[in-house]
Structure 1
Amino acid sequence: MAMMPGLQINIGQQLRLTPQLQQSIKILQYSALELQQTIATTLESNFMLEVAEEDSIDFETDYEQDIASRNDNGNADKDPNDSDYSEPADLDLQNNTSANDDAFSTDYAWEDIYADRQMANDSPCSVTRDNNEFIAPENYTAAHTSLHNHLTWQTDTYAWSSDIEAYIASYLIDEIDDEGYLRTPLGDMLMQLQGQLENASLCLRDLEAVLAVIQQFEPTGVGARDLAECLVLQLKAQKQTPFHVTAMQLIQRHFDWLTYHDFKRIKKSYGLTDAQLETLIALIQSLDPRPGRQFASTESEVIIPDLILKRRAQGWLVELNTKAFPNLQVNQAYINLSDSIKDQDAIRQIKEQLNEARNLIKSVHHRGETLLRVGRFIVERQYRFFEEGEQAMQPLVLREVAEFLELHESTISRATSQKYIQTPRGVFELKYFFSSGVSQFGNEDQSSIAIKAHIKELIALEDPKKPISDNKLMDLLSEKDINVARRTIAKYREALGIPSSSDRKKRVGLR
């Protein structure tokens, strides 16, 4: 059959993120320190952006008024991940217009974005400060590359076969913790991604394929789901030695033998001499169980809270920490001088700089607005924690916040990761307030954090010579109307780093 040239039309859908949407997502994802660095860099390079001279920034703090406003205005608080979220209209760079046309209007002035409003109950939420209080990022800590930034750089330079794969990679990297582990199950992330990418057909194999690539990134062992996988990834990346295969088999098949130091069984099962066993264990101990820690800052990095929680007569009040950021506005002086500019290249540059300044101000505003809404919900849901402590923590998952605020779960994840709230009980990452609920018979679900707090308290009060067993802990917790299985108690006790009752008793005998 003869081969003939021809034309073929294929129709398909691809995920496309506009530059403004990408910037908005990144700004939301940044920690307070990273946002400060971004603002400082932009102030140096963009002459249309400047620090305003106003002395105060006021934020709306009435939660009910915020929700009512959101419902009344429809899309006023739309999340940038929503499909109907659009970026500001592009400036007409080709049209030869005068410098005073609408393209140069300063519709994103800082005082317009943060309007002067008060709570309905007359509790003010204005923060007055001097512009001199803004502290440059370099005064907090030296330049440092975080694990997240290092992984993001690698995924940006990797040749992904599609935009979908690149998006999945970015999502997975967001879930990798500071120690380099991916703690969230892929199945849970698949459900979240399917909700975000409704037009893309995704399955678990797609996430596993992208994760396999990320696990080849530096540092070796990153992206592992557990310690065993982390060690195996590092062994695979090393040059082969006589005990590499044995070490991988031991970790993959009998990792519990290593956990409990059952060296006699290891020696017998693998037919090792004492010297060979010592070499094998030395090889495994040479691996890094926390590969992400090498990117931790060696200095005492200052945590900049994004939110501040204060007690008022009417209850708890959540504010944005406006002292952490400069008061931004568009440079009106350049706009006023632009009338005399005739050079088209200069006009084009002014418009581009103006567009960048506007977009940054809008993205910073959207970040603050989102953090404030998320923070209010958390405080409202976890108010007993602030009154009584972690034993009163309530179960809370990202999905609940996302559904109430009508945002994507990925947005809530970005808005709570590396975002901190300063409270009378201390400074906490917003993610701290999320924990799964433990089902009980006939009672309301309990937060895993609350249960751990009770276990820790009971063990702290025990007689060291007569440690409390897990069964006894189960009985004592039931007296507090916390009915959980013994294996759940054992799991939480191990997560707290507390040995079993028999091991605690042995330690007392060794003293």
Structure 2
Amino acid sequence: MMPGLQINIGQQLKLTPQLQQSIKILQYSALEVQQTIAATLETNFMLEVAEEEPIDFEVLDQHENDDDIAQHETEQGEPADLDLQDNITLTEEAFGTDYAWEDIYADRQLAHESTGQASRDQDEFSAPENYTAAHTSLHDHLTWQADIYKWPSDTLAYIGSYLIDEIDEEGYLRTPLSDMLLNLQTQLEEPQLTVADLDSVLNVIQQFEPTGVGARDLAECLLLQLKAQKQTPFHVTAAQLIQRHFDWLTYHDFKRIKKSYGLEDDQLETLLNLIQSLNPRPGRQFANTETEVIVPDLILKRRGQGWLVELNTKAFPNLQVNQAYIDLSDNIKDQDAIKQIKEQLNEARNLIKSVHHRGETLLRVGHFIVERQKRFFDEGEQAMQPLVLREVAEVLELHESTISRATSQKYIQTPRGVFELKYFFSSGVSQFGNEDQSSVAIKAHIKELISQEDPKKPISDNKLMALLSEKDINVARRTIAKYREALGIPSSSDRKKRVGLR
């Protein structure tokens, strides 16, 4: 081994602080955004709540709005210009840029009219705001992702559901695949099923959110998270260390790590910080530790024969930069004070712009959902259409991860109730010669048919299959059984037994 110099040329993507904050704000629920705003107001003297002013809502043409918003998006679904780290001088021009809340929430209204432009004089119908407690468990979150994933076969979908049932609250799969194989072979009556088949399905589940879920031990959990991040030399070293010498980390044998990987003290610190930033219990974020109040981000109102989607103007306070401090800045000579003002100004402007971008993204996604699921709002669950993240991402020219963030823990208040945006996503069940049916719609049909059955003669799954076929819904009996169990409805024999016990 001889010391030497080496020059490497490469490209590296770095997230600016503003971009990181914008991603976090988009991912937050409305309640978490409120908490973030409240915490910032307490520490940032450049941010203040503006006085309330009357808001004049306008219904913008869909295409004009899309063109306007597109200027703020990149192909990856993030703001096109979020880096506000350029030089700032303490002048009126530098401090004058501001974002009024009405610019964010009043002029971004999108309407969907099923029969053309509706008259604004028509009586509107909107349900009263319904604030309820909600909790999404890890199992529910994984099941939702599995439902909208396009599995090659019903067998693999069933295996995926089985594996998700075995994942504990911390996100780990503790049961060996070999043990589960025996049960699955019996249930599916497929003796040719192998551990490799289960492993391939597990690999799919390990790509779900939260990152690191489905791991069988801590090392695998950390490796899954490293693999999902932007790769750097330290990511490669961290992965090698976890794979080959995880016990060195366990016993804090840092001298051996430095010697084996040729690291300096500062490099070792960076490596350890990277590993410590990973989440050893990815499922904990879904633990039901407290009651969460639902604050709807979007409101859906009827306008004549169509629908109007708008942001909830009451969700957040009206923010602006404190003009009084800007006016006083010309008399400040102390460099430390000037530096602090710059930092506080950047933080205030970045927060306002991040919330602005969040509102635009939610409004675009909400408008697409309403346009796609308009029959649901008129007719109910049985009219739900298949919809997956990829479809929305392609139409809106955003990344799938952006759509995922914009639909998780984001709610829309409608005349039919308050729904999480991801509720409107469901996989399409393929049929021969017919349009694909949404799994939500099929479940609604099953629930309706069973509610109308004679309690003394419950409808079997085979009969349900025949009745659904009459509605041009052709699905396998196994799929019907899966959806019936998901609805918490016992089999026909169990339902008959219950009637006999009454």
Identify which of 81, 85, 89 aligns with 1:86: 81
Percent of pairs with identical residues: 70
Matched residue of 1:454: which SS? helix
Q: Does 1:383 align with 2:374?
A: yes
Residue type of the partner of 2:180? Q
Structure 1 residue 485: deviation in Å? 1.7
Q: Does 1:296 align with 2:273?
A: no
Residue by residue, what CA displacement relative to the aligned partner does 1:368-393 show, whole Å, maximum 9, x if unpaired?
A: 11111111111111111111110111
Asked if the contact 1:393/1:450 (under 8 Å) is kept, the reply is yes
Identify which of 127, 150, 166 aligns with 1:228: 166
Find the counterpart in structure 2 of residue 106 from structure 1. Answer: 97
Asked if the contact 2:297/2:315 (under 8 Å) is kept, the reply is yes
Equivalent residues in 2 for 1:354-365, closer than 5 Å: 354-365=345-356
Matched residue of 2:314: which SS? helix
Find the counterpart in structure 1 of residue 327 from structure 2. Answer: 336
Find the counterpart in structure 1 of residue 310 from structure 2. Answer: 319
Identify which of 8, 11, 18 aligns with 2:9: 11
Q: Does 1:393 align with 2:388?
A: no
Residue by residue, what CA displacement relative to the aligned partner does 1:396-441 show, whole Å, maximum 9, x if unpaired?
A: 1111111111111111111110000111111000000111111122
Structure 1 residue 47: deviation in Å? 0.5
The structure-2 alpha-carbon separation of the partners of 1:321 and 1:469, relative to structure 1 and needing over 3 Å to count, comes to same
Structure 1 residue 11: deviation in Å? 2.8
The structure-2 alpha-carbon separation of the partners of 1:422 and 1:471, relative to structure 1 and needing over 3 Å to count, comes to same
Matched residue of 1:226: which SS? helix
Q: Does 1:451 align with 2:442?
A: yes
Matched residue of 1:323: which SS? coil
Find the counterpart in structure 1 of residue 460 from structure 2. Answer: 469
Q: TM-score scaled to structure 1, two decimals?
A: 0.67
Q: Distance in 1 between matches of 2:46 and 2:448?
A: 56
Structure 1 residue 308: deviation in Å? 0.7
Q: Distance in 2 between matches of 1:467 and 1:186?
A: 27
Find the counterpart in structure 1 of residue 63 from structure 2. Answer: 67
Asked if the contact 1:467/1:504 (under 8 Å) is kept, the reply is yes
Residue by residue, what CA displacement relative to the aligned partner does 1:92-138 show, whole Å, maximum 9, x if unpaired?
A: 26xxx5x325322233343554565887767499xxxxxxxxxxxxx
The structure-2 alpha-carbon separation of the partners of 1:250 and 1:432, relative to structure 1 and needing over 3 Å to count, comes to same
The structure-2 alpha-carbon separation of the partners of 1:231 and 1:445, relative to structure 1 and needing over 3 Å to count, comes to same
Structure 1 residue ranges without an equivalent (≥5): 126-138, 148-175, 190-223, 237-246, 261-290
Equivalent residues in 2 for 1:26-425, closer than 5 Å: 26-58=24-56, 60-62=58-60, 65-71=61-67, 75-79=70-74, 81-82=76-77, 85-92=80-87, 97=89, 99-114=90-105, 123=120, 177=138, 181=142, 184=145, 225-230=163-168, 251-255=179-183, 295-299=287-291, 301-425=292-416
Q: How many residues align?
A: 384
Matched residue of 1:77: which SS? coil
Across the aligned residues of Structure 1 and Structure 2, the Cα RMSD in angstroms comes to 3.7
Residue type of the partner of 2:288? A
Higher relative CO (Cα under 8 Å, sequence separation at least 6) belongs to 2
Matched residue of 1:230: which SS? coil
Asked if the contact 1:21/1:80 (under 8 Å) is kept, the reply is no
Q: Distance in 2 between matches of 1:436 and 1:257?
A: 26
Matched residue of 2:293: which SS? coil
The structure-2 alpha-carbon separation of the partners of 1:54 and 1:455, relative to structure 1 and needing over 3 Å to count, comes to same
Residue type of the partner of 2:287? F
Find the counterpart in structure 1 of residue 231 from structure 2. Answer: none
Structure 1 residue 494: deviation in Å? 1.6
Structure 1 residue 180: deviation in Å? 7.3
Q: Distance in 2 between matches of 1:436 and 1:179?
A: 15
Residue type of the partner of 1:492? Y
Q: Distance in 2 between matches of 1:480 and 1:109?
A: 52
Q: Does 1:488 align with 2:484?
A: no
